[in-house]
Structure 1
């Protein structure tokens, strides 16, 4: 499969390579001959001779800084933050209405969906070359689009992803001043058959739920085709920009 290795990226890093989408993206890239650094809390990543594990905790900035430091001598030119939570670890589901809002649950949702990816950017973006191509992307969601919100609900998740989309835009503007060949993106993977979506798959229209490998191939294709002119955008799995 390495005969199909693309000219770019030279090396990739995935924060969240044990999750459904992150693991699938890691394997797609490795199958195409791209060496991948796969990050997870416990070091569990897809078994592949081109995937090298590292550990980090999305809620522990020191662990994120340590992971970034390990990359400094051979900086990956494609970085994906493939983390996120819709249902929290204690089983708390997304709120159906504002009466269900709980400050502790909101704080936890924002820590995972917004603050964690932002801290990865804080420590990884300074490593990017000023005179070469690179892409930094974070998994977001269409439900983080304010203009596309027609159903309401899922307050903390929607707010966290909307905030992440704004941060991505901010990072893109800031990096463009000194790194004009770089691209910063938010990605909407669609509804994928993972643990995140499992409690909400019942009743989905036929064809809307996508397999992990299928979604990963689409996301990798979007990442490989993205240009600095798209930096700051939220792109869907089909490559189309989603309005904020």
Structure 2
């Protein structure tokens, strides 16, 4: 299959939520790609970003790290303004930020556990942060080269696929993320027609996010970070112009809304 980036010899890339897990895996893989000129990576807390910051010391010209909380629009705007001063255009941005549990926030098993403040936190991180990135990254995508804005979503956010129930906040916030970006893809098609906007389901990956919920996952369905990143990069590389606004699984199949 023809690579979406065929003909682009030097790529500038942003990885949002790169301190650990899938995001950090993307950074490591992208640094091994000779097409990549520079990776602009974000993290939230320096305490959890030490491997990323150490990697940046080994790649001082190809990996730039920034502290950004994507739930704070002022921080997203300041970061993208900085990028515009350092680079003329982005070719790829991958948003890997998301929460499943955080402090007292746990996936709800029943309606009795619904709590408005916890629901708001799910939406803040999993939904609103993603659309803020789409808003502020748009100027960096408005150029003549092919480009891609990809966001890690989750199959559990598919309304059509929901047959088990539970996990209200996580499901709903991922479904909202999909709608936000499906809508953004339509606007991007007018304002930045060479940019694809897609949502990606990574499969169950052996990360801190999924670790408490892996007990019933068959070994063959639990992916290493390296495998997940490789599979998703293959999906992204094989996209076509008709794929913008779509929701893809790790194997390249389209998922129902």
TM-score by length of 1: 0.93
User: Does residue 23 in structure 1 map to residue 41 in structure 2?
Assistant: no
Greater than 4 Å deviation, 4+ residue runs? 5-9
How far off its partner does 1:168 sit?
1.1
How far off its partner does 1:130 sit?
4.2
- In the aligned structure 2, how far is the partner of 1:221 from the partner of 1:36? 18
- In the aligned structure 1, how far is the partner of 2:215 from the partner of 2:177? 27
- In the aligned structure 1, how far is the partner of 2:90 from the partner of 2:162? 35
1:132 match: secondary structure: coil
How far off its partner does 1:7 sit?
5.3
- Residue pairs, 1:160-239, within 5 angstroms: 160-239=173-252
Which runs of 5 or more structure 1 residues have no equivalent in the other structure?
A: none
- In the aligned structure 2, how far is the partner of 1:77 from the partner of 1:147? 32
Q: Which range moved further: 123-132 or 185-194?
A: 123-132
Work out whether residues 83 and 113 of structure 1, in 8 Å CA contact, stay in contact via their aligned partners in 2.
yes
Work out whether residues 6 and 32 of structure 1, in 8 Å CA contact, stay in contact via their aligned partners in 2.
no
- In the aligned structure 2, how far is the partner of 1:191 from the partner of 1:6? 30
User: Does residue 41 in structure 1 map to residue 44 in structure 2?
Assistant: yes
TM-score by length of 2: 0.88
Alpha-carbon distance change, 221 to 7 in structure 1, aligned in 2, over 3 angstroms: farther
Q: Find the counterpart in structure 2 of residue 52 from structure 1.
A: 64
- In the aligned structure 1, how far is the partner of 2:192 from the partner of 2:144? 7
2:209 match: secondary structure: coil
How far off its partner does 1:117 sit?
1.1
Structure in which a larger fraction of residues adopt helix? 2
Q: Find the counterpart in structure 1 of residue 108 from structure 2.
A: 95
Alpha-carbon distance change, 129 to 81 in structure 1, aligned in 2, over 3 angstroms: same
Partner of residue 71 from structure 1, selected from 83, 105, 114: 83
Residue-by-residue CA offset, 1:109-157 (whole Å, 9 max, x unaligned): 1101001111111111232124221100111000111101010110000
Residue-by-residue CA offset, 1:187-212 (whole Å, 9 max, x unaligned): 10000000110110012123111000
How far off its partner does 1:6 sit?
7.6
